[in-house]
Amino acid sequence: MTTHETLVGLFNNYISETQKFEDKGIMASAGRARKALTEISRLAKVRRAEIQESKNELKASIANDKQ
């Protein structure tokens, strides 16, 4: 599973847990929603680095093609 897919899954989980907490008052869901947000924050940094690396590789490839 890619980082992007994992982020999408975590975000969907966050939405689900938040709805359970807000609509039904399930306290345990609040903790699970917060945990999902922590993981999203961590993986967002990883994904950002992956995107930057891909961007740099693309720039290098374009520069090499021009030579």
For 52-66, the pLDDT digits (tens) are: 999 999 999 888 887
Give the CA count within 13 Å in the CB-facing half-sphere of 35: 8
Q: Residues 1-26: pLDDT tens digits?
A: 999 999 999 999 999 999 999 999 99
Tokens matching residue 23:
């609509």
pTM comes to 0.82
Q: Which residue has the tokens 């690396």?
A: 53
CA angle 47, 15, 2 (to 5 degrees): 25
> Has residue 43 got a pLDDT over 80?
yes
